[in-house]
Structure 1
Amino acid sequence: MSSNSITNESDTFEIGGSTVRRLGFGAMRITGEDIIGAPEDEESAREVVRQAVDCGVDLIDTADSYGPAVSERLIGEAIGDPDDVLIATKAGLLRNSEGEWLAHGDPDYIRNQVLTSLDRLRTDTIDLYQFHRPDDDTPFEDSVATFAELKDEGLVDAVGVSNVSAELLDRAREQVEIETVQNRYNLNDRGSREVLEICDEAGIGFIPWAPIDGDDLAEHGDLLDGIAETHDATRRQVALAWLLERSAVMLPIPGTSDPAHLESNLAASQLSLGDDEVRRLTAAAD
């Protein structure tokens, strides 16, 4: 399945009063190697963002730690603050020169980061602001309370959390309305099954990171290849189509910096899996 004019045909979902297509775009990969620094060709990176929007993507996910700061800046330069695109970003992780991801949920830090994200994204209000990762050195409630305060102050429209357990999700929901959860989940990694069930029941958007991890796809290569051949598709497209079938609250955000790869991902929204195929894929790692 390939085309020079692929259109995002996924179903819709509401986040904080905004209706978006369920298949989004993850903007982590438009940065430099190992998600550090700027890409070699910044204009090409901006063009991929614009292409995603032109193809009907209206949910773009990023974070202040991607680059750090690079992904947000490139998105702001590429599309500014359009009314018809929801930009989700995250705070709560630090980077260092070795490329480590260090949890940092200090309220003062989050308050500082929201200002830098607003500036880079060229907006007055962040559409969806997500707590990137719980920090063992900062009480979880203190971090979440800061996100709630930013929403009350009008700097943030909607709040999400990421990398949380079911217990932490429940604790976050006691403080603020949680619109999305972003946890690792894909065909082979179902570790967040319980969190997904909570999101299903509550109508909370579930954003699976690493939705089509290559190593995970290899675990079920024969099954994927057989289904892909039936639909003239690829393994990745079948895995994405399965995620869209898995739950009505599922919001996959496959990332790429390559235009052809972007269109291939979006083609998954046009792939219709049969009920038996969905059952077989679901049973593969359950």
Structure 2
Amino acid sequence: MDEVRNPQGQDKREERISPSRREVLAAGFGGALLLGASPPAQETPRPASPAPEGGRTMLTRPIPRTGEKLPAIGLGTWQTFNVGTDAKERAPLKDVLKRFLEAGGRVIDSSPMYDRAETVVGDLLEELGQSRTPFLASKVWTMGRVEGEQQMRTSVQRMGRGRMDLMQVHNLVDVQTHLATLRQWQEAGRIRYIGVTHYLPSSFEKLEKLIREETLDFVQLPYSLTQREAEARLLPACAERGVAVVVMSPFEQGALFQQVRGKALPPWAAEFDCTSWAQFFLKFILGHPAVTCPIPATSNPKHLEDNLKAGFGRLPDEKTRAKMVKHLGL
């Protein structure tokens, strides 16, 4: 998702023109899968040293299964990291990663569905000398056990240079086949955590069934001020079963910024240390106790810094979150 600011400093963020995930899924699972060497046993990654913001450090949330703490704001790579090898094209992304890690961010999420994003992340982290600092998450998105193993080996080498913290079954594609493989990899120490994802609320029933019947570490789902279906059953199920929640599409592909275009931030936003609409949207999500971290995507270093500020200071309580919904007329 690309982001721009108008002269008045208010946010408006525009989605790049590209196929939807539904369209990509409909296109099938073709494409060459590179064969990578089996990754070595996992080492526990070195935590980042959070850079203080006004003497503070970023909020963290524990992974319920282990208690390991993750910074509250992560980084997505859908569309934004799908670039070529040109150094000028990659320069802002390298700056994004550098500032993200310096501020204490760790969770970086990608997928083989995102074309070159995994490779770009891996290359830039290596250039920054930060290959072992982030909490890296990717996905398996193909049919069949052998094909899934090949794809995951490729992702581990491209993005993690031999390691991966979290591997997820993308959009529940051949989910039972891949979950069996993921458990084997986890037991062997090749990955640390396993999870599932889906971007459609119509699949929340399937997600909930898996959460309640399987032993999962993570689920990735859409949740925002305007898309709150997960509040009904899915987020409570995650809390009950001890499953960490990664939130995709926190800005609704930029639609939330269009909705508040030209509107001033309400003065009471200062009560929870909010100074921009991006922070308003992200702090609403973080105000739900079941959420581990949202993963907004950006290629703009300044907008990254704005997003990261949502992970500092106070969060809205339940009453204030209801007020936020009402303020936007939702």
- One fold, TM greater than 0.5? yes
Residue of structure 1 equivalent to 2:134: 85
Asked whether the 8 Å contact 2:84–2:90 carries over to 1, the reply is: no
Deviation at 1:202, TM superposition (A): 2.1
**Aligned residue runs from structure 1 range 1-286, under 5 A:** 6=53, 9-14=58-63, 17=66, 18-32=68-82, 37=84, 41-68=89-116, 69-77=118-126, 78-82=128-132, 84-92=133-141, 104-135=142-173, 138=174, 140-163=175-198, 164-171=203-210, 174-175=213-214, 177-193=215-231, 194-213=233-252, 214-219=254-259, 225-227=265-267, 230=270, 233-275=275-317, 276-282=319-325
The structural deviation recorded for 1:217 is 4.8
- Kindly provide the CA deviation profile for residues 60-89 of structure 1, in whole angstroms up to 9, marking residues without a partner as x: 21222223343443354345532x431111
Q: CA deviation at 1:132?
A: 1.0
- The one-letter code matched in structure 1 to 2:148 is I
Deviation at 1:133, TM superposition (A): 1.2
User: CA separation of 1:232/1:124 partners in 2, compared to 1, >3 Å: closer, same or farther?
Assistant: closer
* CA distance 1:220–1:79, change in 2 (3 Å): same
Q: Percent identity?
A: 22
> How many residues in Structure 1 have an aligned counterpart in Structure 2?
265
Name the Cα RMSD after superposition: 3.1
C-alpha contact 1:200 1:248 (8 A) present in aligned 2? yes
Range 266-275 or range 109-118, more displaced:
266-275
Structure 1: which amino acid aligns with 2:197?
A: S
Give the residue type in structure 2 aligned to 1:216: L
After superposition, the C-alpha distances for 1:18-59 in whole angstroms (9 at most, x for unaligned) are 321122122334424xxx655752233223112200111022
Give the TM-score taking structure 2 as reference length: 0.69
Hey, which of these two has a bigger chunk of strand by percent? 1
> Do the aligned partners of 1:24 and 1:251 also contact (CA within 8 Å) in 2?
yes
Please give the TM-score of this superposition, normalised by the length of structure 1. Answer: 0.78
Match of 1:31, as an amino acid? F
Structure 1 segments unaligned to the other structure (5+ residues) = 93-103
Letter in 2 for 1:157: R
> 2-side partners of 1:220 and 1:31: how far apart?
26
Measured in 1, the distance between the counterparts of 2:167 and 2:256 equals 28
C-alpha separation in 1, matches of 2:301 and 2:52? 11
| Contact 1:10/1:22, CA 8 A, preserved across alignment | yes
Choose 234-243 or 213-222, whichever is displaced more. Answer: 213-222
Q: Kindly tell me: are residues 16 and 74 of structure 1, through their superposed partners in 2, closer, same or farther at Cα, counting changes over 3 Å?
A: farther
Higher relative contact order (CA 8 A, sep 6+): 2
Shift of 1:169: 4.2
Shift of 1:232: 6.4
